[in-house]
Amino acid sequence: MNLYFFIFILRLLVPLLVFNYPFFVILIILTLDGFDAEFAAKVVSYPHYQLFDKLLDFWWYLILLFFSSFFLKEFFLLLFALFVYRLIGEIIFVLKRENKIFLFFPNFFENVFLLIFMGISSARLEFIIRGSNFFYFFLLACLVKLIQEYLVHVKKFVFMKSALGLKRKWRRG
In the chain, what are the domain boundaries? 3-164
DSSP label at residue 150: I
Determine the Cα–Cα distance for residues 89 and 127; give it in Å rounded to an integer.
31
d(CA 152, CA 42): 20
pLDDT tens per residue across all 173 residues of the chain: 589 999 999 999 999 999 999 999 999 999 999 889 888 988 999 889 988 999 999 999 999 999 999 999 999 999 999 999 999 999 998 899 888 899 999 999 999 999 999 999 999 999 999 999 999 999 999 999 999 999 988 887 776 555 656 677 777 76
Say if CB 101 and CB 92 are below 8 A apart.
yes
